Amino acid sequence: MIDTNTFQRLVSIPLFQGISRSDFEDIASKIHFTFQTVRAGEEVVIADTPCQELVCTISGRFVHEKRSDDGSYTFREYSEKPIVLQPDRLFGRRPYYSTTVRAASTDACILIVPKHEVRDILFNFLTIHINYLNLVCSAKQNWEGRMWKQLPANVADRFLYFILARATRPAGRKELDIGMVDLANELVTTRLNVSKMLNELKEQNLVYLSRGRIEIPEIEKVILRQQKL
């Protein structure tokens, strides 16, 4: 039996939306689910390793980290809401994770479903099948939408575009480890312009700056600021 709190968290995950408790318990009686507590700092999935199971975060805080191909910067974002970790990586021509995810709190809990069990769920439960297709299609559509957006003229807008193009959601904490010259190259501007822009955001308490690192506590506040300008 699944307790009420865990069930409510599970059905808040897009993959399980629309599933009744009785249906979920029926699924759980046929499919092997594993609930696992994760220590703070422990890796849940690792970039460039095979995706052989479906992993959902249930409770706690997690940090998602990805490094650029040339190693010039590392991007991180934090999540607390239950989500499915990279469902689009489970099947396809290259079923490997592109992001490393670690637990960032002591109360982190995940749900793990083996790949072959996921296949059986998709074939036998229409609601989950449709939800999974929606997740994968939405990921592709979001990627295409970002790809075809015109690069903004304003440096602050370019910086915001750069962050959001790499984020899974336009909310929450984001971190970027990058040098000023590398960031200027990414934003197609000068180091001086980048420094001026970041210090303006810092003065408004929208970002925190340290050597080689930019911390954005709430990206939605930066979005709101740019919309008002």
Quote the Cα angle for 153-154-160, to 5°. Answer: 110
Distance CA 152, CA 160 (A): 9
Per DSSP, the three-state class of 58 is strand
Query: For the chain, how long is the longest CA-to-CA vector?
Result: 61
- Look at residues 147, 180, 197 and tell me which one is the last residue of a structural domain: 147
Q: How far is CA 38 from CA 30, 161, 214, in A?
A: 25, 33, 27
- Domain around 167: 155-228
Residue 2 — pLDDT band, cuts 50, 70, 90? Answer: low
Domain of residue 203, CATH code: 1.10.10.10
Same domain, 131 and 208: no
* Top-confidence range, 1-15, 29-43, 149-163, 201-215: 201-215
Query: What's the pLDDT score for residue 80?
Result: 92
**What is the per-residue pLDDT across 53-93, written as a single tens digit (0 to 9) for each?**
999 999 999 999 999 999 999 999 999 989 999 999 999 99
In this prediction, residue 221 has a pLDDT band, given cuts at 50, 70 and 90, of: very high
Do 102 and 44 contact (CB within 8 A), yes or no? yes
